[in-house]
Amino acid sequence: MASGGSSPESSRSSVSSSSDSEFSETDSSSETAFENEGTTLLHIPELNNHKKFLSEVSSFLIHQSKSMFTSLLNDYTQSDFFAIDGDSLLLTCAKNETLKTGQELHFFFLVESFLLNLIKKGGKFAVVFFQDMECMYMGRSDLICLRTQLKLHLEENTDTVVYNFSRISSTEWKTFLQADHPYFLMVSDEGVNALQTYLFNLMILNALGNSTNVVLTAGQENDHLRVYGYYTLANRHHFAFLKDKEDKLGSAVQALVEGAQTSGKPDCLTLFQQFESHSLEKQVLESITHLSMSFSQGSDIRTIISTVSCSLILKILSENEKSTPSPDSRCSLTLHEVADLCKMYCLTAAILMNTPLGQRAKIRHIKAEWNHDSLRFLDLQKKCKDIILKMTKRAAQSSDWNIEWTNVCDLNDDLLMKNIAYYYEKEDLKFELGKDIEQTYTFLWTTTLQLGPHDKPLESFPIRTTLKPFLSQESSLNVKKEKITAIDIMHVKSALIEDFAGDIMKDLPVSSSDGLTAFELNQPKQYDELSHWDSGKCLSDNYDTMLKKTREKDKWSMRGYQKLQSHWLFYGKSLGLTKPKNIIVEKYKTENTTDVPKYNGKKKEGPMKKKDKIIQDNLKKTKAEEERKESEKWKIMAPSLEKDMRTDLYTGIKRQEKFVSSFESPLVKFKSEMATLKICVDVWNEHCKLKTKADRDVNISVEMMKKIQNVLKNHKEMLAKEDQQKICKYLIDLGFSNLACTLQPTKATGLGGEKVTSNQDDKRENKFAVGVGSARFQMEYMGPYFLRDERTDPDPRVSHFIPDTWQRKLLDVVDNNESAVIVAPTSSGKTYASFYCMEKVLKKSDESVVVYVAPKKALINQVVATVFNMFAKDLPDGKSLCGVITKDYCIDGLNSQVVVTLPECLEVLLMSPKHQDWAKKIEYIIFDEVHCLGEGHDSIWEHLLAMTRCPFLALSATISNAEHLTAWLQSVKRYWLECDEIAEGLEAPKTSHRGGKSKNVKQQRSYRVHLVVHNKRFNDLEKYMCLVKQGEITLEHSHPFGALTIDHIKNYGIPHDMDFSPRESIKLYDTMKIEWTEWPRVQELDPEEYVRFKNKIDITKTDANLYQEDLMKEFVNWIKNGHERKAINVLEHLQIETCHQVNYIKYFPILVEKLKEENKLPALFFGFHANKVEQLAEHLDLHLTKKLEKRRSPNDEKEIKKLEAKAQKLEKTLRNATPDTPEKDQDNVKSTRKGELMQRNSSQYEQIIKKLENLTKTPEDCTYADENAIDKETLTTIFDKLKKLKNEKEIKRMANKGIGYHHESGKPSQRLAVETLLRMGYMRVVTATQTLALGINMPCKSVVFFQDSVYLDALNYRQMSGRAGRRGQDLLGSVFFFNIPDTKVKKLLKSGVPHLNGQFSLSISLILRLMLLVARAEDKEDSNAKALSVLKNSLMAFEKVCEIQILKLHCVFSLHYLICEGYLDQDCNLLAFTDLATMLHNNEPSNFVLVSFLHKGLFRMLCQPFLEGTVIII
């Protein structure tokens, strides 16, 4: 914020220059004072002790407040509001170039437009005013009065919330910032004078120091969806600076206010020495009181202002004439001259009251200025108006007087009053007033005289009784009238445009001239798309040559291609893929195919044949033999496993589960589980004897319950009576006698054999019990292990897992050739439908194509690797299974059946006339991460969805208005249905089949779009705040409810995607119970009494979700039923811990060590700056290096160096030694000796290497790598791909310690290595930017946000946090907030993802590209339908008539531009340079500028030599 921290001199110079044009009401003396203000203000006595501090603040804001130009409402939530400084709003609108002096209504129009634009973009705001800021306008009565009018207008005429504070250093303002947490403060960084600029700087510092971000009012821009501005993020430096300088800030503010009061220009009231300010306010109060009594039912503010101000001025002047002051202070205007001015003012008010705005717009624009005496009168009048407005507001608040404030924004029109004065002074015309205006004027003047009776008669008419001029001598009528040149639209002959915008073109002025345009006179060459515009060579592109290149590969190309194939295969292994599935075209499957046919129903069982009986007996014997072998294995391993479990229970159980997973026999598994359960019980009992209840490790009892649940779920039919009794005893030991009774209600006995009831209080139960009920125990400690309600019936379409119901629906959609929008959380399994779709298309034929559209190249690489490792197919020569098309490279693009590409590449192909035949082969398009449709400034995703004629799948994890998107896509499909019905009579497309003749096949299309929504994650996510306390980091659990407020719940409810873990539900219940002791439903929602928990041994995830929903409904009912105070107490109790920003680089190693200690690795650490991401990884690597150096002694280092030297010497000896071929016996002896020496050297070398490995082996606490995750060969293969990188050594060194970084600026090989190592589990600490947020398979146990940023919004938060919790590996995901303000954390937890509302879908380049498609495509009907779909089907204009009209107008005027610039003729034929402009369509408008330069020959002229002094005119 350079301007915010600029010196007063520079600030004042810029403000002074604008003051003359924008605030030119001041007299010449004031203008002179403003010019010298930069120097005079520096010598104000009150600021002598604060100059250094103010300069320090300015410098600090320059260096520590980096502003970013970005979207202001990116992560804006429904309940958020931001604050706008009222004075900044005043100055921003008052400095608008279109605003003319004295045009109050225009000023308020600018204010309303500014605020309305924010409201339309979804913003909610409050306007704040500071009382001290009014002092900054001393000598500027126009701005003081306008400020008061602005406050009253916002308070009385709008729904805007207005707050008033005394000063920026007040306690009330600080409390407001800290308690209400405004989203940001919108403020100006430049004032009307240097003092105000300083005060704005202090306001900015105060906001940033109180963790409130700042947005500048200057430089804001808008588009259809967003507001952009300069955004400054609060950081720890601001907090520390304010904390250190807070006392100085308060005294500096006081000094600035006092300096403004003493250094302001002499007030206009000193012209009348007899009246002081307090006397003036007394006179105003008397006049207002008189009016309130005269008009007790109410009055309009215009009437009050015009009558009271004129009466007051006349009274002041009358008193002034009676006195005998010095000549310098005496007014140069007589009473009658002032009366004439007052009468003109009242007449202006009367005209405003009776003239509609449309008629006022026709007023003459005269070139006239007030003279010096008139300016002094107007200055006094505005000061009086300001006092009257304030006093009237107070009077209305203290009484029942009804004031009509509607016209407070239109109290005066300076241009109208100048016109009245000009009539009387220059034209001397008879001024005819209408009846209504005359009556109003008479009433106003009569009331004015009644408020202040005078000795001299002052009649209403004539209006001018004196000859003194009030306008300057240079005033004249501005006869120069500005005319708007009428522009006729060029007549266009195009069926496409007629279909789209024909209705609106009828209402536009179309040029009737038959003459040719300037470009047509030059007869430019028509563009035929056959040759290049410059060289005349045959026109082609990379896509055309792909087929040819694949057929003519030389040996080097084949070698590179094979390397690429092996790369994809290796990549697939890191994804967990092994053997690809062989695909056979369905039509040509032989009878011997191994596919199992679908079979419904049961066979009739007949008598078993002898042969079948023998086979069955053999199978039984084989099964019994295998069971015997497994039983023997268990007997052998059982003692070892028992020893391990008694030594370390958790490690032993993992080993037992891994060992038993290879067994097939249910009986052996049952025996193993029961034996493990017995060991768990023994370990728990021993543990309870040694520890007090407070010190017990509850996880041991959790393992007990897990084994009990597993036995009852999977082996219940094998339980003997004794086994059931044992389990009952174990449950009673834990204190769960109620569960024991449900398991064996008639014979539940304790360890001593006594019968136990659910209410029995046994001593043994107290000794070994966990201390809580069974339901609470499961909810608090066993939530991650809850069973999910997964289906158990297999689906024949899926072989390797059992799909859920919503996944089966997706498969049905694909089977029916229908379209779907799929919204499901990350890692939920939605992508599988994409690969099922690919398999279906691959089975259909060898010509069908499926396109996978991904937004990032990293995601493209992952999809390609997955396809290569999932499918295999025998294809004809020249065909490939999978191809890639990006902006950088194309591999087997158009000759592949599965094409993976970027959206911009697919758009080029679909709009290219040459590739329409390929486009017709597309059977399915898969749009991954379709929420990208709402990002950026382009609308490529919209164009693709609009042009998609085939079925599609649109996948995303973050769409808030999926119903709206689906409805729009369904409307697009209805459009294509209409197109197909029109073309129904045409010949069906021919489809070529391998091994058969071409046949006419009628392609069946479906036009239905399904919406499939799955909201629940498989794993729970728990959030933690990482707090720095006394140099250590503590992890404080954060309840999601702590982010909510009562207002948010009242207005918007609880966010639909806010989920609790089971233990968080219990915490909410306990808090509600504490805050309302007489809660009626306390017993009903008690976990032990809850209907779905009561006496249940295995609570499921569905049960926990229903309990959560019931709690949230009950909490909302508290608010609805008048228990709001209790609800507030609950939210305060669950409040998220306050977090102050720290030096996160310093504490980063401590945080990682803490996560390692808590078993929360592997983890992804997200930041938003590439250099910070690298810096953190390097800092962590340095931390481990220093830690390792401390562990090693100096002797170890010496020994390592000594051994390394020996190893190098021996390695060289062994490398140089070559076995000789003996020719004589003597040589044989020598050879034998050499061989023995080589063996000794080799043996010695191996020993040295082993010693080195032992000495250099990294201790476990000095690395984060899991060396057991991958073998050395695989690690070497990965590291080999890092060769030729400049920082290869650094990357390998960090990778060997399990550390990596990932950002978009990194080399592809480095990013790929990090991705692979993290997926395989070797690398466990990765710092990354948002490059790992979009769809890449990078699951981890934890996600850490370590850097706040404007880009950390609701969308990115959900994408990034979705990486936590690996399905099948982690039972619980964790999200940590480190160095993120608690206000930002609350915002992220309660905010919803933005709605997808579309972009402005048309551009001039797009229109030209559509014209090219329609003109050059062979299939005119298809190309015309595509182009019309892009024009008609805009998401922005969906169900919005106004936006549709805007798009039509934009299209028509774009065509007009293209015709005038020579890209098209009036028949829409393509002319020269079209190919160049369309090729560079991504660079609009630069593409048209370049073409213009080429057409005018600029580059040719620049390349030619020219004489000195020659001027080139373009």
Task: Look up residue 678 and give its two tokens.
Answer: 């017995």
Cβ proximity of 31 and 263 under 8 Å: no
For the stretch 312-347, what's the b/e string if a residue is b when 16 or more beta carbons lie within 10 angstroms of its beta carbon? bbbbbbbebeeeeeeeeeebebebebbbbbbbbbbb
| Rounded distance between C-alpha atoms, residue 1335 and residue 957, angstroms | 9
Q: Higher model confidence: residue 878 or residue 1083?
A: 1083
1473 sits in the region (left: phi over 0; alpha: psi -120 to 50; else beta) called left
Q: Is the pLDDT of residue 1207 over 70?
A: yes
pLDDT (0 to 100) of residue 704: 92
The pLDDT value given to residue 1391 = 80
**C-alpha to C-alpha distance for 165 and 149, rounded to whole angstroms:** 17
Q: How confident is the model at residue 409 (pLDDT cuts 50, 70, 90)?
A: very high
Per the DSSP assignment, residues forming a β-bridge with 165 are 130
According to DSSP, the residues that pair with 229 across neighbouring strands are 70
**What length is written for the chain?**
1514
Q: What angle do CA 118, 122, 128 make, to 5 degrees?
A: 50
Residue environment code for 898-920, b if the CB has 16+ CB neighbours within 10 A, otherwise e = bbbbbbbbbbbbbbbebbbebbe
- Residue 789 pLDDT > 60, yes or no? yes
Residue 862, exposed/middle/buried by CB under 10 A (0-12, 13-18, 19+)? buried
Q: Give residue 850's pLDDT.
A: 94
**CA gyration radius, the chain:** 41
Helix, strand, coil % in the chain, rounded to nearest 5: 55, 10, 35
Query: Measured on CA atoms in the order 414, 419, 421, 426, is the torsion positive or negative?
Result: positive
Confidence of residue 1029 (pLDDT cuts 50, 70, 90): confident
| Residue 675 or residue 858, greater confidence | 675
Which two three-digit tokens encode residue 388? 């009257």
pLDDT at 804: 81
Read off the pLDDT of residues 1115-1145 as tens digits, 9 standing for 90 and up: 999 999 989 999 999 999 998 888 877 888 9
Query: Is pLDDT larger for residue 518 or for residue 1367?
Result: 1367
Instruction: Provide φ and ψ at 923, rounded to 5°.
Output: -95, -30
**Cα within 13 Å of Cα(975), Cβ side:** 25
Structure tokens at 1033: 């980091």
What single-letter amino acid sits at 1074? Answer: I
Average pLDDT over residues 1178-1203: 83
CA distances from 574 to 564, 1321, 1341, 1381 (A): 16, 10, 17, 37
Query: What is the tens place of the pLDDT at every residue in 478-500?
Result: 654 555 556 677 778 888 888 88
Of residues 947 and 765, more confidently modeled? 947
* Model pLDDT, residue 526: 56
- C-alpha distances (whole Å) from 34 to each of 193, 197, 854, 1043 are 8, 14, 59, 50
Beta carbons within 10 angstroms of residue 1010's beta carbon: 17
Residues 6 or more apart in contact with residue 1088 via CB below 8 angstroms: 773, 774, 775, 776, 1094
Q: Is 1255 exposed, middle or buried (0-12, 13-18, 19+ CB in 10 A)?
A: middle
Q: Which two tokens stand for residue 83?
A: 């604050």
d(Cα 733, Cα 763) in Å, to the nearest integer?
10
Q: Measuring CA to CA, how many Å separate 1023 from each of 50, 433, 1040?
A: 45, 74, 8
Q: DSSP string of 286-343?
A: HHHHHHHHHTTT-EEHHHHHHHHHHHHHHHHHHHHHHS---GGGS-SS-HHHHHHHHH
User: Mean pLDDT over residues 1490-1505, rounded?
Assistant: 82
Least trusted range by pLDDT, from 148-157, 392-401, 777-786, 1221-1230? 1221-1230
**Rounded Cα–Cα distance for residues 1150 and 1187 (Å):** 12
Tell me how far CA of residue 443 lies from CA of 60, 450, 610, 623, in angstroms.
Answer: 59, 11, 122, 113
Neighbours of 45 (CB within 10 A): 11
pLDDT digits (tens, 9 = 90+) for 420-465: 888 888 776 666 778 899 899 999 988 888 887 665 667 777 788 8
Share of the chain above pLDDT 90, in %: 29
Residue 814 pLDDT > 50:
yes
697-755 tens-digit pLDDT: 999 999 999 999 999 988 888 888 888 889 999 999 888 988 888 876 554 454 444 45
Q: What is the mean pLDDT of the chain?
A: 81
Checking DSSP bridges between strand 1020-1029 and strand 1032-1038, what pairing results, if any? antiparallel
Least-confidence region, from 106-110, 539-543, 682-686: 539-543
Residues 823-855 pLDDT 10s: 988 777 788 888 889 999 999 888 899 999 998
Instruction: Give the Cα separation of 657 and 1109 in Å (integer).
Output: 35
Lowest-confidence range among 314-323, 358-367, 1380-1389?
Answer: 314-323
